[in-house]
Chain A
Amino acid sequence: MNGTGMTGTARIGPVDANPYKWPYDGSVPAAHTALICIDWQVDFCGPGGYVDRMGYDIGLTRAGLPATARLLAHTRAAGMLVIHTREGHTPDLTDLPANKRWRSAQIGAEIGSAGPAGRILVRGEPGWEIVPEVAPVPGEVLIDKPGKGAFYATQLDLVLRTRRITHILLTGITTDVCVHTPMREANDRGYECLILSDCTGATDPDNHRAALHMVTMQGGVFGCVADSESVISATTWSDS
Chain B
Amino acid sequence: MTTLDADPGPYTFDLASTALVIIDMQRDFCEPGGFGEALGNDVGRLRVVIEPLRRVLAAARAVGMTVVHTREGHRPDLTDCPPAKLNRGHPSLRIGDPGPKGRILIRGEYGHDIIDELAPVPGETVIDKPGKGSFHGTSFGELLAERGITSLIVTGVTTEVCVHTTVREANDRGYECLVLSDCVGSYFPEFQRAGLAMIAAQGGIFGWVAPSPEFLTALDTAPNLQEVAS
Contact present for A152 and B169 (CB under 8 Å) = yes
Q: Which of A25, A99, A219 interacts with B176 by CB under 8 Å?
A: A99
Contact present for A107 and B202 (CB under 8 Å) = yes
Mark interface residues in A22-34 (1 if CB within 8 Å of B CB, else 0): 0111000000000
Known A-B contacts A103-B205, A189-B82; the reply to A219 vs B88 at CB < 8 A is yes
CB distance from A67 to the nearest CB of B (A): 23
Q: Does A184 contact B (CB under 8 A)?
A: yes
Q: Which of A98, A152, A219 interacts with B91 by CB under 8 Å?
A: A219
Q: Does A97 contact B (CB under 8 A)?
A: yes
Contact present for A210 and B202 (CB under 8 Å) = no
Within B91-107, the residues touching A (CB, 8 Å) are: 91
Mark interface residues in A213-225 (1 if CB within 8 Å of B CB, else 0): 1100111111100
Chain B residues whose CB sits within 8 angstroms of the CB of A218 once the complex forms: 39, 161
Within A176-229, the residues touching B (CB, 8 Å) are: 176-177, 180-181, 184-185, 187-192, 203-204, 206-207, 210-211, 213-214, 217-223
Mark interface residues in B22-48 (1 if CB within 8 Å of A CB, else 0): 000000000000000001000000000
Task: Tell me the count of chain A residues lying within 8 A, CB to CB, of chain B.
Answer: 48
Contact present for A24 and B174 (CB under 8 Å) = no
**Most chain B beta-carbon contacts within 10 A, residue among A97, A148, A180, A210:** A210
Chain B residues whose CB sits within 8 angstroms of the CB of A163 once the complex forms: none
A147 and B174 CA atoms in complex are apart in Å by: 9
Chain B: which residue is nearest A109 at the CB level? B203
CB distance from B140 to the nearest CB of A (A): 13
Contact present for B89 and A188 (CB under 8 Å) = no
Chain B residues whose CB sits within 8 angstroms of the CB of A204 once the complex forms: 201
Contact present for B160 and A20 (CB under 8 Å) = no
Q: Does A1 contact B (CB under 8 A)?
A: no
**Most chain A beta-carbon contacts within 10 A, residue among B84, B173, B174:** B84
Contact present for B171 and A207 (CB under 8 Å) = no
Mark interface residues in B70-90 (1 if CB within 8 Å of A CB, else 0): 000000000000111101111
Chain B residues whose CB sits within 8 angstroms of the CB of A222 once the complex forms: 132
Chain A: which residue is nearest B84 at the CB level? A192
Interfacial residues, chain A to chain B (CB-CB below 8 A): 19-20, 23-25, 54, 97-100, 103-104, 106-107, 146-149, 151-153, 176-177, 180-181, 184-185, 187-192, 203-204, 206-207, 210-211, 213-214, 217-223
10 interchain residue pairs of minimum CB distance: A190-B82, A188-B131, A147-B172, A219-B89, A97-B174, A210-B194, A24-B88, A107-B203, A192-B84, A184-B165
Given contact pairs A106-B204, A219-B90, a sample of 15 additional A-B residue pairs in the complex whose CB atoms are under 8 Å apart = A20-B88, A54-B202, A106-B9, A146-B172, A147-B171, A148-B171, A148-B205, A152-B172, A153-B172, A177-B198, A188-B132, A190-B84, A192-B84, A210-B190, A210-B191
